[in-house]
Amino acid sequence: MFESLDDIRTDCANRLIRAAHDRKSPMHTPVIVTADVDARVMVLRAFDAARWMLRLHTDTRAPKAQAIAADPRMAVLLYDKGAKIQMRLRGTGRIEAHGPIADAAWAASTNFARRCYLGDGPGAVSDGPTSGLPPEFEGTEPDDTQIIPARDNFAVLLIDIAEVDWLYLAHTGHQRAQFSRAGEVWTGRWVAP
């Protein structure tokens, strides 16, 4: 199925592009791991194929923001069960609350999505089950004025990918390849699964 390392790297990029734009893609919600070995599922919002950079949304008050500031090493796990392809990515992350990328991401979001940043910060303790949202926004979309305070809590998580470990699970024999990047130059190699 995959004959060359170039074909595999191209396939990886195409899968990431699709995952960012297609909610039905099995790779749309990867597992994101911070250097403090904490893992969580997040929504992949964008993939810049020229820079091999992932964009996800986060809350500036989330514990992962402090973890990434302390140690920017990150890992990303994606799996497509139907295609039998797993991708493990490694790179460095950074949180940007301001600037053109964060501003554009905020502008492209709906008020219904933005309302998540109006509530309690991630991990805030509660006496019972809670969405963390202010009661007036449970199931309701805030208007443009009501959403203004949420912008202070919104940020993007950008992950610059430096390594890709690709695994194809085939009943005839698994295949595995690894890629690493130095600047703009990628090198690849076949490895035993």
User: pLDDT of 149-183, one tens digit each?
Assistant: 999 999 999 999 999 999 999 989 999 999 999 98
pLDDT of residue 81: 97
Inform me whether the pLDDT recorded for 191 exceeds 90.
yes
Query: Are 53 and 59 in contact, with CB atoms under 8 Å apart?
Result: no
Residue-averaged pLDDT of the chain: 96
pLDDT of residue 17: 98
Residue 85, domain member (yes or no): yes
Residue 126, domain member (yes or no): no
Residue 127, domain member (yes or no): no
User: pLDDT of 86-116, one tens digit each?
Assistant: 999 999 999 999 999 999 999 999 999 999 9
Q: Where is average pLDDT lowest: 15-24, 35-44, 118-127?
A: 118-127
* Residue located via tokens 């912008």: 151
Burial of 100 by CB count in 10 Å (0-12 exposed, 13-18 middle, 19+ buried)?
Answer: exposed
* Per-residue CA distances from 84 to 20, 157, 168 (Å): 19, 27, 6
Residue 95, domain member (yes or no): yes
Query: Tokens for 184?
Result: 């703009």
Residue 78, classed as helix, strand or coil, is: strand
pLDDT of residue 2: 81
pLDDT of residue 1: 67
Residue 69, domain member (yes or no): yes
pLDDT of residue 9: 97
Residue 180, domain member (yes or no): yes
**Domain that residue 87 falls in:** 5-121+132-191
pLDDT of residue 185: 94
- Residue 146 banded pLDDT, cuts 50, 70, 90: very high
Residue 50, domain member (yes or no): yes
Read off the CATH number of the domain in which 86 is found.
2.30.110.10
Overall domain count for the chain:
1
* DSSP summary character for residue 64: H
Query: What span, in angstroms and rounded, lies between the C-alpha atoms of 65 and 67?
Result: 5
Residue 88, domain member (yes or no): yes
